[in-house]
Structure 1
Amino acid sequence: MDDRNRKEERKPKDLAHLEVVISLASIHTSQMNAVHILSDLAEYPEYFGPLREEIETDKNSYYKLEKLDSFMRESQRRNPPTLLSYHRIMQKDFVLQDGTLLPKDAHITVAVDEIQNDSCVTPDPMRFDPFRYYRLRQEDGHNHLHQFATTEPNILNFGHRKYACPERFFAALEIKTILVRLIMDYDWKLPDGQGRPENLKAHEFIFPNQEGVLQMKVRRH
């Protein structure tokens, strides 16, 4: 990392700052995604059965857990890590095809959440449909698409093409490993009379509610 940085970025404090940013992008986002999924499962407990059945059938291959993968992707759609992405500072003036001027030094970004939840991209986006992407993968030629780690032009939580997160497949496996263990070994629910904890928002970022409570117990096999 030190060799690749520009001279002005080689100070220890700058490297430490970069390491914190990398840790935030890799560790906390996976953890928060898993917590969102736990809360969504508690809100929709009828999906415990189908997920456990799938895990029992394909427990030796996490790649085959298409229903769990779909639940993860739908949960991420509902609880994105950020509403905005692709932050850039314009190095020079640039005119878009419709005549819009992006002036030098302007801060621009992409409304990734609005794009993904446009009804032309995601039909009935207000409905939480955990097996939405599982059904799409059953269509001819689509089995390798619509996965949690798949990037698409209109679904940009992991970026796309050369800007795609290189560790997204590891993140998917990491989250599945956590979820499979919890789903098979524990039951959990929201406290009686309480709904799903409302997410917290800081600027464009979405976080699980730190005061949210899930009641858990060991399953009796």
Structure 2
Amino acid sequence: RALYNLAAYPQYVGPLREEVDAIIQEHGWTKEAIALMRKAASFLVETRHLAGILHTYVYMHRKKAMADLPLSDGTCIPQGTHLSVPTCVFHCDSAVYDNPSVFNPFRFC
């Protein structure tokens, strides 16, 4: 999907290449250098963000309660309970993201 977005939005290839070139020139190809590539990371996160919207309820955030979890209304989620939340609930929410359905590759920089 990320390669598709690079092809679909070629205007972002230049800024991404400039970031990678500058960081590699200064730090070489290291794990630490890759961690400094904020635009590249944001591009990948935005790709995943929109994939969650496009595949509405396919992607679920899954967790297991590691301890009893009391909620504000008095309900208690017992330890060991598996919980799932469709990620689209968050990815589609304009209270969380400005223009959530518009590709903005540097949203997370």
Query: If the length of structure 2 is used for normalisation, what is the TM-score?
Result: 0.66
Structure 2 match to 1:144? none
Structure 1 match to 2:101? 126
Q: Work out the CA distance in 2 between the residues paired with 1:56 and 1:78.
A: 27
What is the DSSP-based 3-state SS (H/G/I as helix, E as strand, rest coil) of the residue aligned with 1:58? helix
Counterpart AA for 2:36: K
Q: Work out the CA distance in 1 between the residues paired with 2:48 and 2:15.
A: 19
- Listed one character per residue, the Cα deviations across residues 45-94 of structure 1 (whole Å, up to 9, x for unaligned) are 11111111111111122122111111011111011384323266xxxxx9
Q: Work out the CA distance in 2 between the residues paired with 1:116 and 1:44.
A: 21
Q: How does 1:1-221 map to 2 (within 5 A)?
A: 36-59=1-24, 60=28, 61-80=33-52, 82-86=58-62, 97-98=72-73, 109-134=84-109
Whichever of the two has the greater Rg, that structure is 1
Q: Work out the CA distance in 2 between the residues paired with 1:39 and 1:130.
A: 13
Q: Work out the CA distance in 2 between the residues paired with 1:69 and 1:87.
A: 24
Query: If the length of structure 1 is used for normalisation, what is the TM-score?
Result: 0.35
Cα RMSD after superposing both structures? 2.8
Structure 2 match to 1:142? none
Structure 1: gaps of 5 or more residues: 1-35, 89-93, 135-221
Q: Percent identity of the aligned residues?
A: 33
More RCO (CA 8 Å, sep 6+): 2
